Amino acid sequence: MSRKRVAEAFPFLLPIRETQRKMRFYAGMKFDGRSYAEIVRGEQLLYTLFEDRRALYNRNAGFDMVYQENKVFNLKQAARTLNGLLIRPGETFSFWRLVRCADKEAPYKDGLMVTNGKLTTSYGGGMRQMSNLLFWLFLHTPLTVIERSGHEAKEFPEPDSGEIKGVDATISEGWIDLKARNDTNCTYQISVSFDDEHIIGTVFVDQQPRALYNVVNGGIEYCRDNGAIYEYVKVERTEIDADKGEAQGIKPLYANRCKICYPLPDSTEIKEA
């Protein structure tokens, strides 16, 4: 029999353990020698590099829609700390360094989140949609993503079946962050806005872009392993000359593995591991 962790044996110690972990988490960033992006500018930079919008509501989640409304409230709270952010040359973007105090004036509400591989409701839930969007934006820029973790399990399908797969970025304060470093001589700016049905993310840049990017799946496979089904996808990026519109080549970025926890269409080919 495996030994229980101290927090599992004594649940009342869990809040103390979480507080200690967060203190080390932020102290580590304070002394890691990096310069972190923190300047917010109301005026937009000159050039639009990339923009995308994502549906705010997923009606396939199987939970009361009030949690979807709460998620939207939480996303708008977080957006206040991100909208207009400048990422200057040599600076590093950190999701938690910016968002950690977004609920200071108005507390977050209970929203949907994945805990230990299960879909549950929790204070501040739904924040992963923001980290997913930001990671997707970063993939369409020359920024270097230095920390990203994909979800280990997918509890329900994407609202749009045509969305690129394997481009999510899970976050957990004190444990998992999303970080991107600016190794260029350009300054980038993040914009996050909303309409009635969508969250809209835009990246602006202060110099005329020389290249644009198109991110695609290089291949998708589903495999059954010990009774569980896993999704394997390759993520690739095409660089396009911004002036001529010509593709300059395809670059493999990474491979993503994720457990599927919902029924796939009957026509889906599933290989045996």
CA 204 – CA 185 distance, rounded (Å) = 14
pLDDT given for residue 118 in this prediction: 63
Are 156 and 114 in contact by the 8 Å Cβ rule? The answer is no
pLDDT given for residue 228 in this prediction: 94
Which of 57, 237, 218 has the alpha carbon at shortest distance from 138? 237
Are 29 and 179 in contact by the 8 Å Cβ rule? The answer is no
CA 268 – CA 273 distance, rounded (Å) = 15
CA 218 – CA 213 distance, rounded (Å) = 15
Helix (H, G, I), strand (E, B) or coil at 249: strand
The pLDDT averaged over each successive group of 10 residues in the chain (273 residues) is 53 73 90 95 95 86 79 93 97 96 84 67 84 97 96 76 86 94 98 96 97 94 94 96 93 94 91 86
CA 7 – CA 17 distance, rounded (Å) = 7
pLDDT given for residue 88 in this prediction: 98
Which of 81, 119, 120 has the alpha carbon at shortest distance from 100? 81
pLDDT given for residue 126 in this prediction: 85
pLDDT given for residue 1 in this prediction: 46
